[in-house]
Amino acid sequence: MGAQQSGSLIDDLSALEIEGLGAVESAGTPEALEAVRVAFLGRKDGKVSGILRRLGELSAEERPPVGAAANRVRDRLQSALDAREQALRGDAEAPPILDDLTLPARHRWIGGRHPITQAIDEIVSIFRSLGFTLARGPEAETEWYNFEALNTPLDHPAADAQDTFYLKDGHLLRSHTSPVQVRVLERHAPPVRILAPGMVYRRDSYDATHTPAFAQIEGLAVDEGLSFVDLKATLGEFARRYWGPGTRVRFRPSFFPFTEPSAEVDVKRVLRNPKGDTVETPWIEIMGAGMVDPAVLEALKIDSERYTGFAFGMGPGRIALLRHGVPDLRLFYENDVRFLSQFARP
Ligand code: 2U9
């Protein structure tokens, strides 16, 4: 056998290596793998063994390189066989448990209304049942609707650019929803009983109790013969429906340019603990209210000798905060679903 022959044996070995590695990879059972081992490395009829046997035909100088190549191919096939055997044995055993099976099952993802939206919906529903109709209006307003019609002169601090967002065209972002009630009174003769929910804007800080944009709900009733008794009865009924039958309501004197007299409204919840003892919350401020100032009615050409009215305003963000014991208003606005999903009520 000459150099030609030893070269072709090395080529044969390379081909055998590729063929053998492929056969090992595609063996799907330990039996098939054993058949591959016998076919390639079997002592008697193995293909690699066959080449090793033919080493004797080579000259003394041709033998070492072919022998080394044959040993290399045998070793590679042997390690591939070992690795494949290990893998096949592993597959037959139970698959490893990667999860903690004692954990609760994952919930299906269910969307829910935002907690402030829930408060708005609930408040609106109570006032609707008390005979109030919903009213809406623009968020970009004129100074007249936002301030002057409401007995608030433009040199009042509330109208200052420090407190209100003015637009380039002379409009402003409404600082309360009161302009909605003004617009309704302009177009509808009393009696009116309306509720105006919506976003309002003030140049405020962004902190635990303030945000520059926030939701507000205001209400207005104008009719013949309305008095502070109607105001107290209406808001008392609202508070008992929203916070529960044991809720007490307190009116403290206050001031707003558009109401006279004016009041801050506080609630105290009176409850029983599991032992049966009576427990009560402190007084908590929930809204402002008052009798519509006759000057507001007169500016809208409503006879203030014949008609009187009451009005109130509250921030549903603050109401939601109190209801859920949330310490910081900003949590409601940061869109963190880990926080918001706690309020999901499908
Ligand atoms: C008209 C006449 C009267 C609306 C009113 C309040 C009292 C009030 C604040 C509560 C907290 C706003 O969200 S808040 O900052 N509002 O206290 N608002 S009476 O009075 C009106 C409105 C329109 C024609």
Provide the pLDDT for residue 1.
46
Query: How far apart are the CA of 292 and the centre of ligand 1, in A?
Result: 10
State which of 27, 59, 93 marks the end of a domain. Answer: 93
Check residue 341 and report its DSSP letter. G
Q: Could you tell me if residue 26 is inside a domain?
A: yes
CB of residue 135 inside a 6 A radius of ligand 1 = no
Nearest CA to ligand 1 atom 12: 313
Residues 181 and 284 in one domain: yes
**Ligand 1 nearest atom to the CA of residue 200, by list position:** 13
In a domain, 238, yes or no: yes
Does residue 229 carry a pLDDT above 80? yes
What residue type is assigned to position 102 of the chain? T
How many Å lie between the centroid of ligand 1 and the Cα of residue 51? 101
Q: Same domain, yes or no, for 268 and 303?
A: yes
287 within ligand 1 shell (Cβ under 6 A): yes
At 105 the pLDDT is 83
Atom of ligand 1 nearest to the CA of 182: 24
Q: Report strand pairing: 192-201 vs 133-134.
A: parallel
**Cα(79) to centroid(ligand 1), Å:** 84
Residue 92 — very low, low, confident or very high, per pLDDT cuts 50/70/90? Answer: low
Please indicate, yes or no, if residue 103 is contained in any of the structural domains.
no
The amino acid at residue 296 is V
Last residue of a domain, one of 93, 128, 151: 93
Both 79 and 158 in one domain: the answer is no
Cβ 216 under 6 angstroms from ligand 1: yes
In this structure, the answer to whether residues 127 and 89 fall within a common structural domain is no
Say if residue 191 is preceded by a cis peptide, omega within 30 of 0: yes
**How far is Cα 171 from Cα 139, in angstroms, rounded to an integer?**
10
- The verdict on 67 and 132 lying in the same domain is no
* Shared-domain flag, residues 126 and 236: yes
Pocket test for ligand 1, best of 258, 284, 300 (most atoms within 8 A of CB): 258
| DSSP bridge pairs for 264 | 252, 288
Query: Measuring from atom 23 of ligand 1, which residue has the nearest CA?
Result: 178
Pairing of strands 270-272, 140-141: unpaired
Distances (CA, A) of 66 to 75, 101, 159, 259: 14, 57, 99, 108
Taking the centre of ligand 1 as the mean of its atom positions, its distance from the CA of residue 287, in whole angstroms, is 8
Q: Is the pLDDT of residue 54 over 90?
A: no
Nearest CA to ligand 1 atom 18: 313
How far apart CA 313 and CA 215 sit, in angstroms, is: 11
Yes or no: say if 45 and 52 are a contact pair by the CB < 8 Å rule.
Answer: no
Residue 86's identity, in one-letter code, is Q
The model's pLDDT over 235-274, given as tens digits with 9 standing for 90+, comes to 999 999 999 998 999 999 999 999 999 999 999 999 888 9
Weakest mean pLDDT among 19-33, 41-55, 73-87, 318-332: 41-55
Ligand 1 contact via 258 beta carbon (within 6 Å): yes
Q: Give 147-160 pLDDT, tens digit per residue.
A: 999 999 888 887 77
- Asked, for residue 336, whether it belongs to a domain, the answer is yes
**Residue 106 domain flag:** no
CATH number of domain containing 170: 3.30.930.10
Question: What does the pLDDT average to over 213-238?
Answer: 97
Residue 35 has pLDDT above 80, yes or no: yes
The total number of residues shown for the chain amounts to 346
Total domains present in the chain? 2
CA atoms within 13 A on the CB side of 266: 11
- pLDDT(4) > 70: no
Q: Evaluate: CB of 316 within 6 angstroms of ligand 1.
A: no
Same domain as 250, residue 131: yes
Q: Which atom of ligand 1 is nearest to the CA of 289?
A: 7
- CA dist 230 and 62 (Å) reads 117
Does residue 299 lie in a domain region?
yes
- Assess if residue 100 is contained within a domain: no
What one-character DSSP code corresponds to residue 105? P
Q: Regarding predicted confidence, which is higher, 158 or 175?
A: 175
Closest CA to 259 of 178, 146, 158: 178
pLDDT attached to residue 104: 85
Residues 20 and 76 in one domain: yes
What is the span of the domain harbouring residue 230? 115-343
**Among protein residues, the one whose CA lies closest to atom 16 of ligand 1:** 313
Least confident segment among 34-38, 62-66, 147-151, 331-335: 62-66
Same structural domain for residues 226 and 331?
yes
Q: Which two tokens stand for residue 225?
A: 């013969």
> What's CA 148's distance to the chain center, in Å?
40
CA-CA-CA-CA torsion for 183, 186, 192, 196, nearest 10 degrees?
Answer: 0
Whether 107 is in a domain gets the answer no
Q: In ligand 1, which atom is closest to the CA atom of 256?
A: 7
Q: Is 182 in the pocket of ligand 1 (CB under 6 A)?
A: yes
Whether 299 is in the pocket of ligand 1, judged by its Cβ within 6 Å, is no
In the DSSP assignment, the letter for residue 166 is B
Q: How far is the CA of 326 from the centre of ligand 1 (A)?
A: 24
Q: Is 17 in the pocket of ligand 1 (CB under 6 A)?
A: no
Same domain, 155 and 208: yes
Pocket lining: 179 vs ligand 1, CB cutoff 6 Å? no
Q: Which of 175, 192, 238, 287 to mutate to test the pocket of ligand 1 (most atoms within 8 A of CB)?
A: 287
Same domain for 69 and 122?
no
Q: Are residues 56 and 140 in the same domain?
A: no
In contact, 197 and 215? CB cutoff 8 Å: yes
Percentage of the residues of the chain whose pLDDT score is greater than 70: 97
Q: What whole-number distance in Å separates Cα of residue 215 and Cα of residue 333?
A: 12
Ligand 1: nearest atom to the Cα of 290: 19
What is the β-pairing status of strands 270-272 and 307-314? unpaired
